[in-house]
A = this chain, B = another copy of it.
Amino acid sequence: MNRIKPIATELKKIDTLRQISSVLSWDQETMMPPNGIDARSNQLETLAGLIHDAWQSDDLTQAMANCIDLYTGAPKDDLDTDEKAFVREVYPQWKRNTQLSKSLVQELSKATSRAQHVWQDARKNNAFNEFSPHLQTLIDLTLEKINQLGMTDHPYDTLIDEFEPGMTVKKIDAIFSPLTEKTVDFLNHHKTLPPNSIPGPFGINEQILYSKELMEQLGYDRNRGRLDVSTHPFTIDIHPTDVRITTRANPDYLFESISSTIHEVGHGLYEQGLDPQWAGTPYGASRSMGVHESQSRLWEIFIGQSLAFWEGQLPRIHDLFPSAQSTTAADFYKACHHIKPHWCRVESDIVTYNLHIVIRYECEKALFSKSLNVNDLPEFWNQKMNEYLGLDITNDTQGCLQDVHWSAGLFGYFPSYTLGTLIANQLHQKLHAHFPALNDMIRTKTFVPIKEWLNQHIHVHGSKMTTSELLNSLGIHYAPENFIASLSEQLST
């Protein structure tokens, strides 16, 4: 460990600045008085500058140079396996933070800031042509970023790698193609299941109270975290000793707070399960966006929407929400198991959700290989929506303008949502094999052993293993066919 220790020391300095930045971001979303925004932007910009400078430090470069070839990233032969894993993870981060020209970084920052403003109006006014020149600029700048970072096979691979290290277009195609085929086939052979509605209204304070009870049931350590309310629910990992989640509550739709809370608890448990001694370094870092999403989706969907879950929660729900007093666990189960193609990704059911992701993936892949022009994006989008979901999209507000991601310059991020869902499905089966009485455990709110199993088998490893190695160690694959098969089974019960 002596060779990597100097790298860890520098990374921890950078991470302290990132932690500070996270506290400020959390505060901005949950606590900050509205007029504090300009001062806050200035504070965050200052921290971004300090983080940038810290990555350029000579001490870090020297420490890296002692362990790897700075041009290729190849580790020195005498490093042991763990040390090699450490530098394997640090190198691409270091490259992204040191190899891009200052002018490109500044241009990207300005362009995303402008694009986000324009996108908000364009979405409101169904005016793709207002947004398209900005999207073009972001794509051009991102292509230049790919160029500066160096590209292997497909330009889009460089983008995916930031969120899913080791993942490529080839590998994703091999997962998404059968998934798409099986899902479309499934939709063709199942009739639409409308959602069963639970009568409200549901008190906001009671929903937040219930969310806090749920997070404790699931094993969330409130000495190392908290729950608040924000417009968009999120998890923020300040440090494994301070992981905060947020939720939101809708007086007419109880699932909003319950599913948001459980989803974020899943993310938060991962962060709380990381090794605090190695915080800020690969040994203490979550594996990838996809593995992170597998944790939130496992708890949200495979545990939190099961019949056993509702059976266990029903008495407390009846207690807190008088309007729902005559509903059964089966009513709740039916209320969250519906299938209905919808133009909106975030309002989609578990079956059709992945098709939304596939469409975005196909758009990004085509845009970055230049086989699709930005101006043709709406047509491409709408044609895919029709082909996969049987929907006629008649305006771009309900089409390719719906997500914030592209205006924020986030390309290569979408696939992780589906990769995570596929892993979650496999983990759920793994849990069933390990805990034959899993449903009884869920029914009796015995969630802590599940959390501990995830701690031991996933969280504690940080990024020591690659994602493939981690999945292999668990004996699981993405297995898209299996996902559709388990859904079929679930929906027929």
Contacts and interface: CB of A to CB of B under 8 A. Distances in A.
B27 A224 contact: no
Interface residues of A, number: 34
A31 B225 CA distance: 10
Given A27-B27, A50-B50, A20 B35 contact: no
Interface stretch (A79-87, A183-191, A238-246, A282-290): A238-246
B226 A33 contact: yes
A335 interface: no
A85 B432 CA distance: 74
A221 to B, nearest CB: 8
A238 B37 CA distance: 12
Nearest to A43: B20
A219 to B, nearest CB: 15
B224 A35 contact: yes
A222 interface: yes
A436 interface: no
A31 B244 CA distance: 10
Contact of A242 (B16, B35, B223): B35
Contacts of A17: 46
A152 interface: no
B23 A223 contact: no
Contacts of A242: 32-33, 35-36, 39-40
A47 interface: yes
Contact of A239 (B27, B36, B224, B279): B36
A252 to B, nearest CB: 26
Contacts of A226: 31, 33
Contacts of A106: none
Contacts of A50: 50
Nearest to A44: B20
Given A27-B27, A39-B242, A20 B33 contact: no
A103 interface: no
Contacts of A24: 20, 23
Given A20-B24, A33-B225, 9 more contacts: A16-B42, A19-B43, A23-B24, A23-B43, A31-B31, A33-B242, A36-B242, A39-B241, A50-B50
18 contacts: A13-B46, A17-B46, A20-B43, A23-B23, A23-B24, A23-B27, A27-B27, A31-B31, A33-B223, A33-B224, A33-B225, A33-B242, A34-B223, A35-B221, A36-B238, A36-B242, A39-B239, A39-B279
